[in-house]
């Protein structure tokens, strides 16, 4: 495994240790307190959650606008943006790094996608690679590239307090239906060492003659917790699980200046503890117990080693999402991938 922090930084960290030590101590105290808060929040949400009458969709079509892996002619990035189309409408799930990087604007142009093609924007969680970049994250304002056109009244559904450029916002505080016949799990919490307590929502749809399709952004609350909530919402069989699971076991994506940020700030562990193959094995076991028909992995927050292990060890038919590809479920009783 590569160093999570390049040895070039070690002398700097040594000199700065008198300042870093109390900072890390304070972060650790907050992290531990948040662990208790997260457990209480998520348990309370599970208790309150009631089944949702998910409409049977004739089909669900997922087009990948932004991902780490790509089809020919598309730009890759360590972020996520998925376009959903169903027989009941369309919505956009996350906007990657938005205007700060070229992937979303370029890939949307390749696919002739504009904002006016959807009824809503849904943000999984308020991190830069999902809500439009670092500036968007700092200002808590979801930002979409101008090339996608101006919003024309679509609502932005958020799991935590934020604004959206040119769009009315609704705070999602519990599982509910969204446009296009797709539901949200509502926010589920996770304690992250550097980034504090965060909230993330996942999407759930019911495809006729198939079952549930569950799509995550980063999967920070863990896929195990997300699926617990899904089971509170519906007892339909789980057909597809897709999206981020956050397993940078051997390294992160989008590393900068010799620092593997994903391995340090997004794993739900203290900075001095790595996410391991044992952690990945636990999740593989949990997914195999759920028995989905198909799993679609996001490479934006999981390393190639983790992707390869899941493709080999998951009982489900397992593939990796690629920008520029469309995945279609339902309608004819069979599944086509374009």
Mean pLDDT on 143-171: 96
The pLDDT, as a whole number, for residue 61 is 98
Q: What is the mean pLDDT of residues 195-207?
A: 97
pLDDT at 3 over 90: no
- Can you read off the two tokens belonging to residue 163? 């604004």
State the residue for tokens 């799930």: 93
- Cβ-contact 283, 275 below 8 angstroms: no
pLDDT at 176 over 50: yes
Q: Which residues contact 276 (CB under 8 A, 6 or more apart)?
A: 249
Residue 334 has pLDDT above 60, yes or no: no
pLDDT at 148: 97
What is the tens place of the pLDDT at every residue in 24-70? 888 889 999 999 999 999 999 999 999 999 999 999 999 999 999 99
- Count Cβ atoms below 10 Å from residue 172 Cβ, excluding itself: 20
Predicted pLDDT of residue 259 = 80
Please tell me which residue, 331 or 22, carries the higher pLDDT value: 22
CA distance 314 to 83: 26
Q: Is residue 127's pLDDT more than 90?
A: yes
d(CA 188, CA 208): 27
256's CB contacts (< 8 A; 6+ apart) are: none
The per-residue pLDDT for 331 is 66
Residue-averaged pLDDT of the chain: 94
Using the predicted structure, report yes or no on whether residue 1 has a pLDDT greater than 70: no
Q: What is the pLDDT, as a whole number, of residue 168?
A: 97
If one compares 88 and 21, the residue with the highest pLDDT of the two is: 88
Classify 315 as helix, strand or coil.
Answer: coil
pLDDT of res. 24: 84
- Could you tell me what percent of the chain has a pLDDT over 90? 82
Residue 310 to residue 321: CA distance in whole angstroms: 13
pLDDT at 333: 46
Given CA atoms 60, 66, 70, 72 in this order, what sign does their dihedral have?
positive
- Model confidence at 14, pLDDT cuts 50, 70, 90, reads confident
Tens-place pLDDT, residues 76-102: 999 999 999 999 999 999 999 999 999
Query: In 167-225, at which residue ranges do the beta strands (DSSP E only) sit?
Result: 169-171, 176-177, 183-184, 188-192, 196-200, 203-207, 211-215
Mean pLDDT of 133-138: 96
Q: Is residue 219 pLDDT above 60, yes or no?
A: yes
Of 122-136, 195-209, 267-281, the least confident: 267-281
In order of start, what are the domains of the chain with their CATH numbers? 7-49+56-337 (3.60.15.10)
pLDDT at residue number 131:
98
- pLDDT for the residue 332: 57
The helix (run of H) or strand (run of E) holding residue 14 is helix 10-48
């Amino acid at each position: 495994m590569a160093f999570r922090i390049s040895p070039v930084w070690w002398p700097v960290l040594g000199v700065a240790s008198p300042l870093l030590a109390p900072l890390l101590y304070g972060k650790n105290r907050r992290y531990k307190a948040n662990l208790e808060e997260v457990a209480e929040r998520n348990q309370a949400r599970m208790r309150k959650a009631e089944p949702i009458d998910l409409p049977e969709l004739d089909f669900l079509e997922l087009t990948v606008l932004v991902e780490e892996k790509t089809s020919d002619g598309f730009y890759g990035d360590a972020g996520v943006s998925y376009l959903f189309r169903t027989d009941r409408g369309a919505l956009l799930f996350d906007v990657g790094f938005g205007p700060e990087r070229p992937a979303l604007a370029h890939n949307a142009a390749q696919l002739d996608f504009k904002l006016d093609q959807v009824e809503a924007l849904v943000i999984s969680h308020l991190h830069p690679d999902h809500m439009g970049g670092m500036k968007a994250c700092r200002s808590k304002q979801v930002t979409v590239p101008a090339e996608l056109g101006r919003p024309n009244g679509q609502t932005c559904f958020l799991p935590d307090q934020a604004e959206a450029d040119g769009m009315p916002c609704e705070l999602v505080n519990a599982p509910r239906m969204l446009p296009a016949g797709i539901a949200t799990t509502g926010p589920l919490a996770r304690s992250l060492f550097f980034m504090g307590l965060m909230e993330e929502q996942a999407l759930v749809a019911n495809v006729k003659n198939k079952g549930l399709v569950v799509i995550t952004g980063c999967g920070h609350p863990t896929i195990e917790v997300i699926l617990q909530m899904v089971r509170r919402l519906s007892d339909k069989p789980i057909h597809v699980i897709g999206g981020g699971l956050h397993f940078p076991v051997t390294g992160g994506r989008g590393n900068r200046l010799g620092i593997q940020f994903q391995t340090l700030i997004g794993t739900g562990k203290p900075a001095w503890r790595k996410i391991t193959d044992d952690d990945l094995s636990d999740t593989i076991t949990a997914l195999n117990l759920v028995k989905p028909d198909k799993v679609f992995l996001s490479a934006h927050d999981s390393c190639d080693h983790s992707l390869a292990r899941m493709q080999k060890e998951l009982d489900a038919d397992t593939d990796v999402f690629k920008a520029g590809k469309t995945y279609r479920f339902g309608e004819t009783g069979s599944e086509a991938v374009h």
